[in-house]
Amino acid sequence: MGSSDGPTITYYGNWKCPYCAEFSTGTLGDFVTDYVENGNVNIQFRALAYINGEPFLGADSPRAARAGLAVWNVNPETYWRYHEYVFANQPPEGETWATAEKLLSFAESAGVGDLDRVREQLDEGMYESEVQNTTDAAASAGVSGTPTLVIDGETVNPLSDESRARTLIEGLTDAS
């Protein structure tokens, strides 16, 4: 999200992570208001579904990551609404809830169009290589948990160190 002219902050999260839900439904909105809406930065979300080759926060986590990519690719104008809806309504992380039916129900509730295409892409297992690429990119960036922001090559947990995240973002906006 944001304008294509500003620098990009990468938000690594997991659809099943309660801390990501806390960030996505709280502080992320403040960051959008303070830095994205005025055109200073862009934010991209990358779903971290694997750590050390194993599903992160449940075997259904990769499916949730693929569903997010399906929504982005099928109906991108509704992606951030879907993102917010899932995190606001996230079941407990210990449950195996990221089923195709639940994810499609979330998409429908968030107003995502062309649910048949989203379902088709999810059923076909599309975007697995993209999910794996995110795992590799996160490892290269030094990301070991979620939520993590990568700001100009620096990693920061925006929940435990919001002031450092803001300082790094403001450093980006001063440089541009």
What CATH number is attached to the domain comprising 29?
3.40.30.10
Instruction: Indicate whether 82 belongs to any domain.
Output: yes
Per-residue pLDDT band at 149 (split at 50, 70, 90): very high
Confidence check: pLDDT of 175 > 70: no
Retrieve residue 68's tokens.
């997010």
Tell me how far apart the alpha carbons of residues 53 and 75 are, in angstroms, rounded to a whole number: 30
Instruction: Indicate whether 51 belongs to any domain.
Output: yes
> For all residues of the chain together, what is the average pLDDT?
93
Residue 113 to residues 78, 89, 106, 108, 138, Cα–Cα distance (Å): 8, 19, 12, 8, 30
What value does the mean pLDDT take over residues 14-29? 95
User: pLDDT tens digit string along 118-130?
Assistant: 999 999 999 999 9
1 alpha-carbon distance from chain centroid: 11
Q: What is the total count of domains within the chain?
A: 1
User: pLDDT tens digit string along 134-144?
Assistant: 999 999 999 98
Identify the domain containing residue 54 by its residue range: 8-175
Tell me how far apart the alpha carbons of residues 100 and 106 are, in angstroms, rounded to a whole number: 10
Instruction: Indicate whether 3 belongs to any domain.
Output: no
User: pLDDT tens digit string along 72-100?
Assistant: 999 999 999 999 999 999 999 889 999 99
